[in-house]
Amino acid sequence: INLIGLVASLGVGGVAIAFASQKVIEQILWSIVLYIDRPFTVDDYIHLPDRNLGRVESVGWRSTKIRLSGKNTLVVVPNSNLAQMSIENLSRAKRIISIVTLTFFRVMSEEEKALIQNLIIESTNDILGIDHQLTQVSFQNLTDNTGQDCVQAQVIFFILGTTETTLELQQGLLGIAREKMIEQLENYGIKFKFKETVVDVTQPMNI
State how many domains the chain has: 2
Question: Residue 207 domain-assigned?
Answer: no
Pick from 90, 124, 147: which residue ends a domain?
90
What percent of the chain clears pLDDT 90, i.e. is strictly above it? 13
- pTM confidence score: 0.52
Q: Which helix (H) or strand (E) holds 19?
A: helix 3-37
Mean pLDDT of 120-136: 76
Lowest mean pLDDT among 79-83, 112-116, 200-204: 200-204
Q: Tell me the range of 56-70, 120-134, 159-173, 185-199 where mean pLDDT is highest.
A: 56-70
> What gap in Å lies between CA 77 and CA 85, rounded to an integer?
11
pLDDT at 20: 54
Give a yes or no: residue 205 inside a domain: no
Check whether residue 184 and residue 98 sit in a common domain: yes
- What was the pLDDT predicted at 17? 56
In this structure, what CATH number is given to the domain that contains residue 7?
Answer: 2.30.30.60
CATH number, domain of 116, equals: 3.30.70.60
CB 165 within 8 A of CB 172: no
**pLDDT tops 60 at residue 68:** yes
Q: Which domain holds residue 191?
A: 93-200
The least confident of 90-94, 129-133, 140-144 is 90-94
- Read off the pLDDT of residues 169-180 as tens digits, 9 standing for 90 and up: 666 767 777 888
Last residue of a domain, one of 59, 90, 121: 90
Both 77 and 48 in one domain: the answer is: yes
Domain shared by 110 and 185, yes or no: yes
* Helix or strand (DSSP H, E) at 117: helix 110-122
Task: Put the strands of the sheet holding 63-68 in their side by side order.
Answer: 74-78, 63-68, 53-59, 45-47, 88-89
pLDDT band at residue 6, thresholds of 50, 70 and 90? very low
Cα 102 from chain centroid (whole Å): 19
Tell me, yes or no, whether 42 and 127 share the same domain: no
Task: Tell me the pLDDT tens digit for each residue of 182-206.
Answer: 888 888 888 888 887 765 554 444 4
Q: In the prediction, which pLDDT does 113 show?
A: 93
Bridge partners (DSSP) listed for residue 160: 95
Kindly state whether residues 61 and 134 are assigned to the same domain. no
Averaged pLDDT, 156-164: 65
Same domain (yes/no): 183, 105: yes
Q: Do 33 and 79 sit in the same domain of this protein?
A: yes
- Are residues 30 and 47 located together in one domain of the fold? yes
C-alpha 131/C-alpha 152 separation (Å) is: 23
Residue 110 lies in a domain: yes
Are residues 156 and 112 part of one domain? yes
Over residues 15-41, the pLDDT tens digits come to 455 555 666 677 777 778 888 888 888
Domain end position, chosen among 67, 90, 113: 90
Q: Are residues 66 and 81 in the same domain?
A: yes
- SS3 sequence, 156-188? EEEEECCCHHHHHHHHHHHHHHHHHHHHHHHHC
151 and 119 share one domain:
yes
Close Cβ partners of 85 (under 8 Å, ≥ 6 residues apart): 48, 49
**85 and 97 together in one domain:** no
* Per-residue confidence band for 98, with pLDDT thresholds at 50, 70 and 90: confident
